[in-house]
Amino acid sequence: MLNLRDPSLLREQCFVAGQWISAARTIAVTNPASGAVVAHVPRLGATETRQAIDAANGAWPAWRARTAHDRSALLARWHALILENQDDLARIMTAEQGKPLAEARGEIAYAASFIQWFAEEAKRVYGETIPSPISTQRIVVTKEPVGVCAAITPWNFPAAMITRKAGPALAAGCVMVVKPASQTPLTALALAALAERAGIPSGVLSVVTGSAGDIGTELATNPLVRKLSFTGSTEVGRHLMQQTAATVKKVSMELGGNAPFIVFEDADLDAAVEGAIVSKFRNAGQTCVCANRLYVHSKVYDQFARKLADALKALKVGSGEEEGVRIGPLIDDAAVRKVEEHLADALERGAQVITGGGRHALGRSFFEPTVLVGVTQAMRVAREETFGPLAPLFRFETEDEVVAMANDTEFGLASYFYARDLGRVWRVAERLEYGMVGVNTGLISNEVAPFGGVKQSGLGREGSRHGIEDYLVIKYINMAGIESPRTNQLN
């Protein structure tokens, strides 16, 4: 049993149309560190999803009719409740996802920041007037909520990936049905409980758990759903884009990554090592913006590799609840097997391990933080998202060579590089084909900046003033008949 200040936040029911509902069939939620069953949630399907969509559609007119200030105040109340319950939400998250408690607390604060940000942005949805080419007409442009929205979210950030969607959606006057990952539904359900306590009306926000295929198909094909926002793998994103095409839904796609992390010869090496630790090993390497390939100039390659390996040895691996743990377990055994496959492929092709190199002695889904040297573009780690604590180091000689290698991928989410020459910083930042570039930092995620990718890493942006645009549609009003006054023809 979790040691919660408010045990009622641990919900084993879904929030559908303002009601907490159960189901005969359930899904067990397990702790990745221990394998213990934490809770059971309903295994819902298309029927209940339709109920949630119908309730959202019914709640939409009243929700969109509220003033922006009204919606803002309710979101602000939700934000306050999330922070008031930060510790409980973090404990629930660590229990189901495995990340260290300190990281879970950090994610809750990060998740709450999107609610706060869009509570304010709700009041800044501006339209425009346009000078008319015809003297008797006036042109007005307004922005309106797109309508019933669906969100499908991943397990690696069980809170932030939901609020990064629900925040702008509700702020814009939309309503939303959320399907969280089956590995981490408890955080989503706790957030829904707090939204209910904040006074967000029935039907405005629902959370359904269960069969990804059945629920996903209903969300992607039901004509009442006007927008689908997905965060997850590129493979599933492609599938959902195909499914939503039949009803021409607006889509946002936050998909896979393959981030290059480049260390030039003029870099501050200690800063670069610190950045590499944050960028590569946050959430045990299970983030979409993790450094996936580390390119190090040959002049500093050996020194950087040694420093990185030494820094890694200081990181405690263990269960997220344990004090001082920096690297938790991976989400499941399949995740560990993928890291093992990437490691084995690299070793077979000539790479060498300088620290780590296999499953951790703790067993289950723990993996040793690992540094590989002698890595080349021919290896799987160069082409595929590893999503684990494996840092492959590639060597390079010139700026042109490394930019070409960095861009040699179908992904384009995050990228990072360390350099101090101003000309190089501008040249490389402009040449990298990514939605986001971190210069001399390994951590770029916040609520104020536009988060998102190019190429096959996705469509749209989350956070920033841009994030609400994905939940709005533009309306053009042409107001004619504004002739000069004339006697009324009718009398």
Ligand X SMILES: O=C[C@H](O)CS(=O)(=O)O
Report the catalytic residues: 254, 288
The piece of 281-289, 347-355, 361-369, 380-388 that touches ligand X (CB under 6 A) is 281-289
Q: CA 439, CA 159: separation in Å to the nearest integer?
A: 27
Q: CA 13, CA 186: separation in Å to the nearest integer?
A: 9
Question: Taking CB positions, which residue lies at the least distance from ligand NAD?
Answer: 216
Of the pair 355, 415, the CB lying nearest ligand NAD is at: 415
Residues 305-364 that bind ligand NAD (CB under 6 A): none
Q: Considering CB distances under 5 to 8 angstroms, the limit depending on partner class, which of ligand NAD, ligand X, none binds residue 181?
A: ligand NAD
Both tokens assigned to 335: 């995740």
CA dihedral 317, 31, 85, 121 (to 10 degrees): 90
Strand partners, 253: 230, 459
Which of 212, 444, 454, 473: binder of ligand NAD (CB under 6 A)?
A: 212
Which of 31, 49, 287, 456: binder of ligand X (CB under 6 A)?
A: 287
Q: Find tokens 């090496």 and name the residue.
A: 269
Percent of the chain that is helix, strand, coil (3-state, to 5)? 40, 20, 35
Residues 281-300 that bind ligand NAD (CB under 6 A): 288
- Told to check if 167 binds ligand NAD by CB under 6 A, we report no
Q: CA 42, CA 20: separation in Å to the nearest integer?
A: 10
Smallest CA-to-CA distance from 165 within 188, 183, 197 is with: 188
CA count, 13 A, side-chain hemisphere, 172: 29
Of the pair 48, 107, the CB lying nearest ligand X is at: 107
Q: Considering CB distances under 5 to 8 angstroms, the limit depending on partner class, which of ligand NAD, ligand X, none binds residue 445?
A: ligand X
Q: CA 236, CA 460: separation in Å to the nearest integer?
A: 16
Residues 425-464 that bind ligand NAD (CB under 6 A): 458
CA dihedral 305, 308, 312, 314 (to 10 degrees): 120
Q: CA 11, CA 26: separation in Å to the nearest integer?
A: 13
Smallest CA-to-CA distance from 147 within 171, 118, 176, 178 is with: 176
Q: Considering CB distances under 5 to 8 angstroms, the limit depending on partner class, which of ligand NAD, ligand X, none binds residue 207?
A: none
Q: Considering CB distances under 5 to 8 angstroms, the limit depending on partner class, which of ligand X, ligand NAD, none binds residue 212?
A: ligand NAD
Least distance in angstroms from the C-beta of 80 to ligand NAD: 26
CA dihedral 355, 357, 361, 362 (to 10 degrees): 100
CA dihedral 16, 21, 23, 28 (to 10 degrees): 90
- Told to check if 236 binds ligand NAD by CB under 6 A, we report yes
Which of 100, 147, 154, 275: binder of ligand NAD (CB under 6 A)?
A: 154
Helices (H), ranges, 225-379: 234-245, 269-281, 301-313, 333-348
- Told to check if 366 binds ligand X by CB under 6 A, we report no
Q: Considering CB distances under 5 to 8 angstroms, the limit depending on partner class, which of ligand X, ligand NAD, none binds residue 49?
A: none
Q: CA 91, CA 2: separation in Å to the nearest integer?
A: 7
Residue 59's SS3 state is helix
Of the pair 255, 343, the CB lying nearest ligand X is at: 255
- Told to check if 229 binds ligand X by CB under 6 A, we report no
Kindly write out the interface string for residues 428-447 of this chain, putting x where it contacts ligand X by CB under 6 A and - elsewhere.
-----------------x--
Task: Check: CB of residue 351 under 8 Å from CB of residue 392.
Answer: yes
Q: Considering CB distances under 5 to 8 angstroms, the limit depending on partner class, which of ligand X, ligand NAD, none binds residue 409?
A: none
Of the pair 145, 257, the CB lying nearest ligand NAD is at: 257
The piece of 54-62, 73-81, 209-217, 294-302 that touches ligand NAD (CB under 6 A) is 209-217
Kindly write out the interface string for residues 247-266 of this chain, putting x where it contacts ligand NAD by CB under 6 A and - elsewhere.
-------xxxx---------
Least distance in angstroms from the C-beta of 445 to ligand X: 4
Residues 147-166 that bind ligand X (CB under 6 A): 156-157, 160
Task: Check: CB of residue 50 under 8 Å from CB of residue 58.
Answer: no
Count residues contacting ligand NAD (CB under 6 A)?
A: 27
Task: Check: CB of residue 155 under 8 Å from CB of residue 331.
Answer: yes
Strand partners, 143: 474
The piece of 102-110, 155-163, 427-435, 473-481 that touches ligand NAD (CB under 6 A) is 155-163
Which residue ranges make up the site for ligand X (CB under 6 A)? Answer: 156-157, 160, 287-289, 445
- Binding residues for ligand NAD (CB under 6 A): 152-157, 161, 179, 181-182, 212-213, 216, 231-233, 236, 239-240, 254-257, 288, 385, 413, 458
